[in-house]
Structure 1
């Protein structure tokens, strides 16, 4: 009887430990991405690589850019 009680206590302790590590503060949260129409990109946006380089060279804190929309405009992106 004592042996089964010790086994049950060990299993219960391990279950509580696993549940505590999953509910802890170590959750990964993705940053929201904000985007804004580029004020310096000229012409129709065919290459997201060119758009990103223009956005990164602006005075503001943009980390990239992409072409989007029916009118193919350059949108600068940054983490909010």
Structure 2
């Protein structure tokens, strides 16, 4: 009986450590944004923007940003 309590407490401790570690990693991930220098015109589709960001500017992704008067292509990557 004592052994099973020790095992249970050890498993609980390990699970708390794993949860804390994964939570810490998730919180530290930041996304850096930059307006595309290579994309020309008004951005209408995220797909075209992402292709330009990945191929021409070595970013991980790109998407249209619509909260400005003219939609623009914004490139993103983890930083």
For the aligned pair, the TM-score class normalised by the smaller chain equals 0.7 to 0.9
Structure 2: runs of 5 or more not aligned: none
Measure, in 1, the Cα distance between the counterparts of 2:54 and 2:18.
36
Structure 1: runs of 5 or more not aligned: 1-6
Measure, in 2, the Cα distance between the counterparts of 1:61 and 1:32.
17
> Which protein has the larger Cα radius of gyration, Structure 1 or Structure 2?
1
Higher-helix-fraction structure: 2
Aligned CA RMSD, in angstroms, stands at: 2.1
Give the TM-score normalised by structure 2.
0.74
Aligned length: 72
What SS does the aligned partner of 1:78 have?
Answer: strand
Deviation at 1:50, TM superposition (A): 0.2
Deviation at 1:40, TM superposition (A): 1.2
Give the TM-score normalised by structure 1.
0.73
> What does residue 51 of structure 2 align with?
53
